[in-house]
Structure 1
Amino acid sequence: MEGPMGGPIAAPLAHRVAPTADSPEIANAVAATWREIDAALVPIIGPRGLAALYRRSVHITAQTHPWLHVAHDAALAAADFSELTPLLRQQGAAVAMAGATTLFITFHDLLSSVVGPSLTERLMRSVWATAPSDPAAKDLMP
């Protein structure tokens, strides 16, 4: 699946983790990606806007990935990504990757419905395009 402007969003983690990555590696990549999303979007939509989109994304994604309900409960107060990392580590690698990917796609789609596809692609381009070989990506990895 591609975004409306042709940007790849179907596998936002594919360039951040190896195909043989385990759950902790996936969880670390997801955490780094959410930090980048936070940095890119808070100046535009504010912390409450980001929190609302994140909560809604988790709620929708939890319908097909029920283990995410815990993350939704933690996100009720703010865009709290901290519960997501331990949840991902508890899953098998395939389940963690599928859940995280679905969450990112859902978030992207919701953001697009709020600010439009063109602005979404511009705002998210730097997040989706950061590869592990990029110095910026290495700095973000815990």
Structure 2
Amino acid sequence: MGRRVSAARVKAHRCYTVEEAADAVNATPQTIRVWARQGLHVLAECRPILILGCALKAFVDEMKEKRKRPMKAGQFYCMRCKDPRGAAFGMVTFHRGDVSGGEMEAFCEDCEGAVRVKVKEADLPAWSEIYEVDGSDSRDP
């Protein structure tokens, strides 16, 4: 499993060497060099190569935004498929939690692995239109 890179420790007004940048974002120096080939702005005219903190922060934040996968109504995030998926067989089970809602549980439509998502009470009618909601805890709107 890959490392979680984070720009939280990067100082925007500081210059970093490749090794310092790697330490700051919890990556390897080789990863920083790959990022430089992929578009991370570096000051290559000087040796050692320097990276502006603001450029590093912006690059990491942009990478995180590209990885986001927004889910539509009625979708679950499948950890096996690494993508938003629908429920297999059009059936979900609702487990009531606290007063504000509960949890929908189903099987992934592709890999048939278990998937879950937290659901607010107000969103239950929308889920009922898409899927057959099962469970003794569920109430009809």
TM-score bin, normalised by smaller chain: under 0.3
TM-score (norm 1): 0.26
The structure that is strand-richer by fraction is 2
* Structure with greater Cα Rg: 2
Ranked by relative contact order (alpha carbons within 8 Å, sequence separation 6 or more), the top structure is: 1
